[in-house]
Amino acid sequence: MELSSHLNTDDAPRNPAALPQDGGGWPGGRAPTVLQVVPELVTGGAERGCIDMALALQEAGGLPLVASQGGPMVRELDRAGIRHITLPLASKNPLTIRRNAKKLARIIVESRVDIVHARSRAPAWSAWLACRETGAAYMTTFHAPYNISGALKRRYNSVMARGERVIAISDFVRRHILENYDTDPARIRTIHRGIDPAVFSPEQVSPARLVTLAKEWRLPDDRAVILLPGRLTRWKGQTVLIDALAELGRKDVLALLVGSDQGRSGYRQELVERVRRAGLDGVVRMTDHCSDMAAAYLLSDVVVSASQEPEAFGRVIVEAQAMGKPVIVSAIGAYQETVIPGETAWVVPPADAKALAKALDEALSLTPEQRDAIGARARAFVADRYTRQRMCGDTLAVYAELMAGRRR
């Protein structure tokens, strides 16, 4: 890894002008009413983005509404005084989708909704139908490169590409849309997901939190920690990391596979057996979901994403860089745009255990000065491109585009 001393941000997108909180900066002087629709508010990138945008629109003088099947994240809306409408929007049943569309149409008319912002396919069909009936603007955020297994599936997915504006959460997703759907490129806006710098910042993690998590995980003081966060599923590449550790042949490290198996007990047992056969007992540990990932990153020496299928964005690697950690990623999907190869990250071919072992050896051999330099570049890179404030500001600008177009 070449340790250069500069951060190249010449091609970074620029922040849009901030919209005043009194709504005066909106086209026509009136901030919009925006209804976001998601299947449920449990956890995940679409759900987090929905909550963040509702709060940002409220701060910018607009009126946010959210419709979903419900979930624990509704509490965040309640605390902010943002209205949540409970509908069975997670259902893929065509009759339920049409019933939801009728209910959304009534909400649009009664609440004078300007824009309906859909973040998933089933609720997007209801939203699209409701907007056709009422004339409200319809837009989407394309959160993933949805699987296309036939003409019927392609049609089902296509509702996400029908928006007057379509937000792609990465350039990788944008390319997927253009390659697979009849969408005018002028309607697509790439807006990367953003993290909260108030959460993912080394300065925000207290020593007490580090001590608590280190005790919970029984971390030894004399071993380097390799972190692979992600639910236990084959495409996340846990087997590749285990094979790479066997290739590396070092016993002075501890690799943590952090994530729930979500009922995949067979795959968990397969990983246990793979570790045993590789003679890595004591080197590899599996832990369940971690509620303090900022502390987890800070306790690690290197963070790995060994995904064998393309990620639509790859939040984990952005969070790790925000915490100043060197990262290793697979050369597929959006990971190729969320790191600076050779400056903040090692980029290796997917499913290549030998290449991953080589990258691990280099990352674990960094001097303190090299580690600090990588960390500084990584933090500056994320702060410039991948913050929640930037994501929300760019999305508010899309809302303003739609409002201006309708007034013309």
Asked whether the predicted pLDDT for residue 91 surpasses 90, the reply is yes
Contacts for 154-163 with beta carbons within 8 Å, 24 or more apart?
154/180, 154/181, 156/121, 157/121, 157/181, 159/118, 159/121, 159/124, 159/125, 159/128, 160/118, 160/121, 160/124, 162/128, 162/138, 163/118, 163/138, 163/139, 163/187
Asked whether the predicted pLDDT for residue 222 surpasses 80, the reply is yes
Confidence at residue 1, expressed as pLDDT on a 0 to 100 scale: 57
Confidence at residue 20, expressed as pLDDT on a 0 to 100 scale: 45
pLDDT bucket at 27, cuts 50 / 70 / 90: confident
| For residues 216-232, average pLDDT | 94
pLDDT bucket at 24, cuts 50 / 70 / 90: low
**Minimum mean pLDDT among 36-45, 293-302, 347-356: which range?**
36-45
Confidence at residue 405, expressed as pLDDT on a 0 to 100 scale: 81
**b/e burial code for range 89-98 (CB count within 10 A of at least 16 → b):** bbbeeeebbe
Asked whether the predicted pLDDT for residue 9 surpasses 50, the reply is no
CA-based angle 219:221:223, to the nearest 5? 85
Confidence at residue 408, expressed as pLDDT on a 0 to 100 scale: 56
What whole-number distance in Å separates Cα of residue 187 and Cα of residue 190? 10
Confidence at residue 90, expressed as pLDDT on a 0 to 100 scale: 96
Highest mean pLDDT, choosing among 236-250, 257-271, 306-320: 236-250
pLDDT bucket at 234, cuts 50 / 70 / 90: very high
Confidence at residue 150, expressed as pLDDT on a 0 to 100 scale: 86
Rounded to two decimals, the pTM is 0.87
Confidence at residue 17, expressed as pLDDT on a 0 to 100 scale: 41
What whole-number distance in Å separates Cα of residue 290 and Cα of residue 51? 21
Task: Provide the CATH number for the domain formed by 202-385 in this structure.
Answer: 3.40.50.2000
Q: Residue 57 has which token pair?
A: 């629109």
CATH H-level superfamily of 27-194+387-407: Glycogen Phosphorylase B; (3.40.50.2000)
Domain extent listing, the chain: 27-194+387-407, 202-385
Confidence at residue 76, expressed as pLDDT on a 0 to 100 scale: 96
Confidence at residue 306, expressed as pLDDT on a 0 to 100 scale: 95
Asked whether the predicted pLDDT for residue 407 surpasses 90, the reply is no
**Minimum mean pLDDT among 22-26, 256-260, 335-339: which range?**
22-26
**Minimum mean pLDDT among 16-30, 128-142, 149-163, 271-285: which range?**
16-30
Confidence at residue 11, expressed as pLDDT on a 0 to 100 scale: 39
What whole-number distance in Å separates Cα of residue 65 and Cα of residue 74? 12
| For residues 316-339, average pLDDT | 94
Supply the mean pLDDT for the chain. 92
SS3 category, 112: coil
**Greatest Cα pair distance in the chain:** 69
